[in-house]
Chain A
């Protein structure tokens, strides 16, 4: 990661040593300095102006400028989207460009684009208007044509009727006709287009406003029309309204306006109409070419923007982050320097100094920036130097809580124990290989995937790819131990140790088989598969194994608490917490583990439940058949007594000692410290005043210790029991896979039909992938997570630190929109 960092192999054991540093930067080189520090990405700035609101800060104006530029860039991106250009697909090239220059350029481009858009909009508006006009001419023309032909036919009919005889025709008809004809001259009409969703309301309002004295004719325009005013595609109806009288006309016009109906002039003379249509069509084609040229020009401009968009965008983001950082700095008394305070890892000191020098030289400043190390009581941030392999494991730990500064880091052990505990639950080398191949695919295409955006779930799988590959490798290993391959047994490591008594193998299920060879060399003997006693055998094996693993991991947790206590020089915790805890856990469950191992080695038939239960109920009784080794009874009495002693040992001394310590420290405060070195005194003072500030409430400490003790004592039982989930999940996994294998694959095989076999295979594949590979992986993952967070980490992990959050351009670029 850094060339200056000491190549320590123990990066993950504890977090990096940090220091609080103050950098005094001359005004003229401040921008460049911050920019270089951002490139380095190893300095976390503290906000020294917390009292000031954002716009009162020194560089608020520059931030506003950057915000304005970001707004322009967003405008460009919208335009690029409109043009169908993808932002990320264009490689950024071109020379470095300054912020001022960029600002000017962006302003110009925006003005140009806005003008172009306005022009095209105007043209488009005219074009759409003409288009609508043409539609009205055509559609309304049809109305008139129909109406005329109808009218003539009616007239003819009417004429016929008159000839036939006037008896059956209504008497008023003639009168009506005549008035009609006389009024027809005064009838006015308006034609235009109205949006379809409003057309019903339009008709209704027209009817109401004129008390029904209008005639409205509408027709649907098939395809959506661009509205000249809004510019969107809208479905519309062509309408013609006939009215009589001036007042009605005013009303109709007002209503048209209110409904956003565009009106167009229209004549009922056919000849004129045809002439108008051709005229409009000519204008339309003219406008079309103009618009096309405009659009072409626009797209070239947008294209040229798209080429440099990424570069500009990242520049603006960078500048904005620099000014944000500058805003957290405070002014020197002389107003000529800026003062930055913040955390940096100790190993980065020389790198930071180098960067500061470089900034001074590059900005031709006469005075260099000064780095000083400060002493502080504040607890520093936690920083682990992770790589792409370890970061995912560290994330698992951080999700629970970020480690306290310099605390033993469970992340390191998690790298091995997490995939291993997962694999204990997921033991099947066939499934393991599937998982391995899928993850390998992700890892091989790592470069490609890391640069692009993936979906939510895919992102998760990709982020944890190294965790998953470790999990799959371990699953293959435990799969070999369990001898499971999609629940099929394989004789991989030699032949089974057992065989039938005679070739016919009749009494294999009644009397049993005999051992003919050496024990099967690795894992479970395949001959167990499918036998009646398979489950009891595997259960006993897995249950015992779970307890062994659990006790081992919990012991590791307690041992880590020892290293923590040693590191923080806390003798009380070693003698009154670590030691009794070790004794308590191991005298009960350590002893149980010992019994398990002895039983496995000797092949004894002793009942371990019985031993353990009667160890408590009647420790003085004889063990009888259950005795595994000589002196077991006395050992048990000894262990029981030591466990009993361990409880008050945990509970009582620590609070008393803490009280004593506090009182001593309190007394010592009245005396002035007598030390030679100035710095020493300062340190001491810091330390003492720190101690003095702490409130010491004895009852609180006692209650706290009481809770801790109870939690540990009860926890050691319940946590051990909790590790039995390893057995339970592995049992569930193997049973599920055997169900899918036997009830689906083997069953469909038995039908001797290709179709059924194919269906069976499809069901088997989907069940295996969906249930076993995805859901079981998730559940085993969660259980492994729980075992780490609760059972393992509660033995030692405080996890109340906060993460190191350096100012880094790499991080700035990542946080997107």
Chain B
């Protein structure tokens, strides 16, 4: 029923959309960031944040603060908001909201598996996991020795199970194939999410396909850049690209054969939406690419709030908050290590 969301959307989604838009107005503004960037100590940051929505989460922290505490508490707020929304949601919105967390689940799985590979303590690893991507049996991941076991023991019970079909091998786990697993999973996840949004139809499909296409393209570029100079073959690299997005399929063919960053740039500059991102970078530079992509993403996410009656706002809100937490982490890290000159390097203003 494209175009008729306005008639029925509010029956189930109205309350939550109001909630999420309310949450959005609590995002830190450029003025907040300016003030935060001027902070001298972490206590100053806490003091400033106590005037924002993060106040109640930080107020009971004893004074010698650490960056991790700040980030942890801010994430806790996001998780609380997410759980509240999930509790209130009905189908299909609840499935949509769950889809948002799968990305974190993949990251957590990879984190634990790599961690155990390097013989780290499981408890320590669990603390590092993103709380949105937790599932019951996550701690048991440490038991698995290879992909097949990983799947058979643990992941078969999780929502990630269907994404695993492509990467079940009996090889022992090592850094390389864990990374390949992460990307294969992510590819399958994005494609699945994309299909799900298409199935929902209407404004949700329209907006989410745009956002997810951007995500897929960004991943494609990152995979290409990261795999330059590794033993990953072109064919394998080609397999990791998601089968949608602006670059699909011709861009992918070209990306698959790139040998250095400037070739990637050449490929990407053929696509008008990505031209401004690359035009900001000088040749041979890949450090600032992340920030440029983040900025573009934030811009797109903010735009999704311009339209009403779709689920994209939930995705956008979660992503924006995560970006905000990344910003806070960077600022606090800079403040804590007395590197204030670098504060602006990685902070992406949301408004």
Spell out A's residues near B (CB within 8 Å).
53-56, 60, 63-64, 67-68, 71, 74-75, 198, 201, 204-205, 208-209, 251, 254-255, 257-260
Interface presence of B35 (CB below 8 A):
yes
Chain B residues in 8 Å Cβ range of A53: 35, 38, 48
B38–A259 contact, CB under 8 A? no
Given contacts A55-B39, A64-B43, A198-B136, list 19 more A-B pairs with CB under 8 A. Answer: A53-B38, A54-B47, A55-B35, A55-B40, A55-B47, A60-B44, A60-B47, A63-B47, A67-B47, A68-B62, A74-B60, A201-B137, A205-B143, A205-B153, A209-B140, A209-B149, A255-B140, A257-B122, A257-B139
Give the docked Cα–Cα distance between A71 and B152 (Å): 48
Give the docked Cα–Cα distance between A257 and B136 (Å): 13
Contact of A75 among B44, B60, B141, B153 (CB under 8 A): B60
Give the docked Cα–Cα distance between A204 and B143 (Å): 14
B152–A68 contact, CB under 8 A? no
Chain B residues in 8 Å Cβ range of A254: 140, 142-143
Chain B residues in 8 Å Cβ range of A257: 122, 139, 142
- Contact flags (1/0) for B137-159 with A, using CB distance below 8 Å? 10111110000010011100100
B61 to chain A, nearest CB (A): 8
A209–B143 contact, CB under 8 A? yes
Max chain B C-beta neighbours (<10 A), residue from A55, A74, A255 = A55
B48–A55 contact, CB under 8 A? yes
Interface presence of B59 (CB below 8 A):
yes
Chain A residues in 8 Å Cβ range of B50: 67
B45 to chain A, nearest CB (A): 9
Interface presence of B87 (CB below 8 A):
no
B134 to chain A, nearest CB (A): 13
Closest Cβ neighbor of A74 among chain B residues: B60
* B contact patch SS: helix
Q: Count how many chain B residues have C-beta atoms less than 8 Å from C-beta atoms of the other chain.
A: 28
Chain A residues in 8 Å Cβ range of B61: 71
| CB-defined A-B contacts under 8 Å, sample of 24 | A54-B51, A55-B39, A55-B47, A55-B48, A56-B38, A63-B47, A67-B47, A67-B50, A67-B59, A68-B62, A71-B60, A74-B59, A74-B60, A75-B60, A198-B136, A201-B157, A205-B137, A205-B140, A205-B153, A208-B152, A254-B142, A258-B140, A258-B143, A259-B140
B59–A71 contact, CB under 8 A? yes
Max chain A C-beta neighbours (<10 A), residue from B44, B51, B143 = B143
Interface presence of B230 (CB below 8 A):
no
B63–A201 contact, CB under 8 A? no
Chain A residues in 8 Å Cβ range of B149: 209
Give the docked Cα–Cα distance between A259 and B136 (Å): 9
A251–B143 contact, CB under 8 A? yes
Contact of B153 among A67, A209, A259 (CB under 8 A): A209
Chain B residues in 8 Å Cβ range of A74: 59-60
- Contact flags (1/0) for B29-68 with A, using CB distance below 8 Å? 0000001001110011001101100000001111100000
B334 to chain A, nearest CB (A): 16
Say whether, besides A71-B60, A257-B122, A55 and B140 are in contact (CB < 8 Å): no
Closest Cβ neighbor of A254 among chain B residues: B143
Chain A residues in 8 Å Cβ range of B154: 205
Contact of A258 among B35, B47, B51, B122 (CB under 8 A): B122
Give the docked Cα–Cα distance between A600 and B43 (Å): 78
Chain A residues in 8 Å Cβ range of B47: 54-55, 60, 63-64, 67
A79 to chain B, nearest CB (A): 13
Give the docked Cα–Cα distance between A227 and B139 (Å): 18
Give the docked Cα–Cα distance between A258 and B112 (Å): 12
Say whether, besides A55-B44, A71-B59, A205-B154, A255 and B136 are in contact (CB < 8 Å): no
The 10 residue pairs across chains A and B that have the minimum distance between CB atoms: A258-B139, A53-B35, A258-B140, A55-B44, A254-B143, A55-B47, A208-B153, A205-B140, A68-B63, A209-B153
Max chain A C-beta neighbours (<10 A), residue from B48, B139, B149 = B139
Chain A residues in 8 Å Cβ range of B43: 64
Max chain B C-beta neighbours (<10 A), residue from A63, A74, A75, A255 = A255
Closest Cβ neighbor of A71 among chain B residues: B60
Contact of A255 among B38, B39, B143, B152 (CB under 8 A): B143
A60 to chain B, nearest CB (A): 7
Chain A residues in 8 Å Cβ range of B152: 208
Chain B residues in 8 Å Cβ range of A251: 143
Chain B residues in 8 Å Cβ range of A204: 157
Closest Cβ neighbor of A197 among chain B residues: B136
Say whether, besides A209-B153, A258-B122, A54 and B48 are in contact (CB < 8 Å): yes
Closest Cβ neighbor of A61 among chain B residues: B43
Chain A residues in 8 Å Cβ range of B136: 198, 201
Chain B residues in 8 Å Cβ range of A63: 47
Max chain A C-beta neighbours (<10 A), residue from B39, B47, B122 = B47
Closest Cβ neighbor of B31 among chain A residues: A53
- Contact flags (1/0) for B281-304 with A, using CB distance below 8 Å? 000000000000000000000000
A680 to chain B, nearest CB (A): 44
Give the docked Cα–Cα distance between A332 and B237 (Å): 68
Give the docked Cα–Cα distance between A472 and B140 (Å): 71
B54 to chain A, nearest CB (A): 14
Closest Cβ neighbor of B144 among chain A residues: A209
Give the docked Cα–Cα distance between A214 and B337 (Å): 52
Chain A residues in 8 Å Cβ range of B44: 55, 60
Give the docked Cα–Cα distance between A68 and B61 (Å): 9
B350 to chain A, nearest CB (A): 19
Give the docked Cα–Cα distance between A303 and B345 (Å): 52
Give the docked Cα–Cα distance between A744 and B139 (Å): 68
Instruction: Give chain B interface residues in 102-153, CB to chain A under 8 Å.
Output: 122, 136-137, 139-143, 149, 152-153
Closest Cβ neighbor of A204 among chain B residues: B157
B111 to chain A, nearest CB (A): 15
Closest Cβ neighbor of B39 among chain A residues: A55
Give the docked Cα–Cα distance between A205 and B139 (Å): 11
Chain B residues in 8 Å Cβ range of A64: 43, 47
Contact of A259 among B39, B139, B141 (CB under 8 A): B139
Give the docked Cα–Cα distance between A806 and B137 (Å): 58
Give the docked Cα–Cα distance between A71 and B60 (Å): 6
A567 to chain B, nearest CB (A): 41
Give the docked Cα–Cα distance between A67 and B63 (Å): 10
B343 to chain A, nearest CB (A): 15
Closest Cβ neighbor of B45 among chain A residues: A55
Give the docked Cα–Cα distance between A254 and B137 (Å): 12
Give the docked Cα–Cα distance between A257 and B60 (Å): 31
Closest Cβ neighbor of A207 among chain B residues: B153
Chain B residues in 8 Å Cβ range of A67: 47, 50, 59
Chain A residues in 8 Å Cβ range of B39: 55
Chain A residues in 8 Å Cβ range of B40: 55
B322 to chain A, nearest CB (A): 25
A210 to chain B, nearest CB (A): 10
B80 to chain A, nearest CB (A): 19
Give the docked Cα–Cα distance between A371 and B22 (Å): 45
A522 to chain B, nearest CB (A): 56
Closest Cβ neighbor of A211 among chain B residues: B152
Give the docked Cα–Cα distance between A198 and B138 (Å): 12
Chain B residues in 8 Å Cβ range of A209: 140, 143, 149, 153
Chain A residues in 8 Å Cβ range of B35: 53, 55
Give the docked Cα–Cα distance between A208 and B35 (Å): 54
Max chain B C-beta neighbours (<10 A), residue from A71, A205, A258 = A258
Give the docked Cα–Cα distance between A255 and B140 (Å): 6
Give the docked Cα–Cα distance between A593 and B24 (Å): 57
Chain A residues in 8 Å Cβ range of B139: 257-260
Give the docked Cα–Cα distance between A56 and B39 (Å): 9
Chain B residues in 8 Å Cβ range of A56: 38
B82 to chain A, nearest CB (A): 22
Give the docked Cα–Cα distance between A259 and B44 (Å): 40
Closest Cβ neighbor of A260 among chain B residues: B139
Give the docked Cα–Cα distance between A257 and B152 (Å): 19
Give the docked Cα–Cα distance between A186 and B149 (Å): 26
Chain B residues in 8 Å Cβ range of A208: 152-153
Chain A residues in 8 Å Cβ range of B153: 205, 208-209
Instruction: Give chain B interface residues in 66-120, CB to chain A under 8 Å.
Output: none
